[in-house]
Amino acid sequence: MSRENAILTYTNTLFYPLDPRAEEIHIEDIAHALSQMCRANGHFKKFHSVAQHCINCTLEARARHLSERVQLACLLHDASEAYISDITRPVKCYLKEYRKIEHKLQQAIYAKFCLGDMNEAELREVEAVDNALLYYEFERLHHQGIHKQPPRVFSSPDTSERNMTAVERQFLQLTEQLLEHIASKNRSLEL
């Protein structure tokens, strides 16, 4: 592929969104980009980053006593946006090719972080957490719910306007902690 088909990431990596390769996926790029992207296509009353949403999803999964794999998947569930941005839900449903690209990229990211074998139950848990936090964010940051029946939230999501660098750092720390716990569990299962 030619360089015209690549983006240059925060870590100065040439990344090909249509041909994602594990060695070009860096958690530093994901954390940095997502910490600077605003949720709700920038329409919230104050800045609330995609990274902060992902952190809140992870903490919600933890409060629900979901596995560390699901917690990590919650942290990374929007990671493809670091490379291809996002399109709002009402429009995305009409963009079949975009959804294919997003899915392929998201699968490559999950595989890079040892989540390529997630089962349907785990994916449903991630989706439930994501949808609950989406409702909570709109209620807190737009002062109106987006569903008739509010979902139950088990954690206390932080919707304060936070420094991007602090959010990026927390995203990286959570990733490191979860990867260490998952690796430790896998080692103990091998013994």
pLDDT at 28 over 90: yes
Q: Is residue 1 in a domain? A: no
Give me the mean pLDDT over the 167-171 stretch. Answer: 98
Q: Is residue 149 in a domain? A: yes
| CA gap 176, 165 in Å, rounded | 17
pLDDT at 134 over 90: yes
pTM of the model: 0.95
Q: Are 29 and 11 in contact (CB under 8 A)?
A: yes
Q: How does DSSP classify residue 146?
A: S
Report the residue count for the chain.
Answer: 191
Q: How confident is the model at residue 145 (pLDDT cuts 50, 70, 90)?
A: confident
Give the range of the structural domain holding residue 138, as residue numbers without chain letter: 24-190
Q: Is residue 6 in a domain? A: no
How much is the mean pLDDT over the chain?
95
Q: Is residue 137 in a domain? A: yes
Q: Is residue 178 in a domain? A: yes
What CATH number does the domain containing 97 carry?
Answer: 1.10.3210.10
Q: Torsions phi, psi of 28, nearest 5?
A: -65, -40
Q: Is residue 102 in a domain? A: yes
Q: Is residue 85 in a domain? A: yes
Alpha helices for 67-150 (secondary structure H): 68-76, 81-84, 89-92, 96-112, 120-141
Q: What is the pLDDT of residue 191?
A: 61
Q: Are 39 and 49 in contact (CB under 8 A)?
A: yes
pLDDT, tens digit (0-9, with 9 covering 90-100), for 88-98 = 989 999 999 99
pLDDT at 190 over 80: no
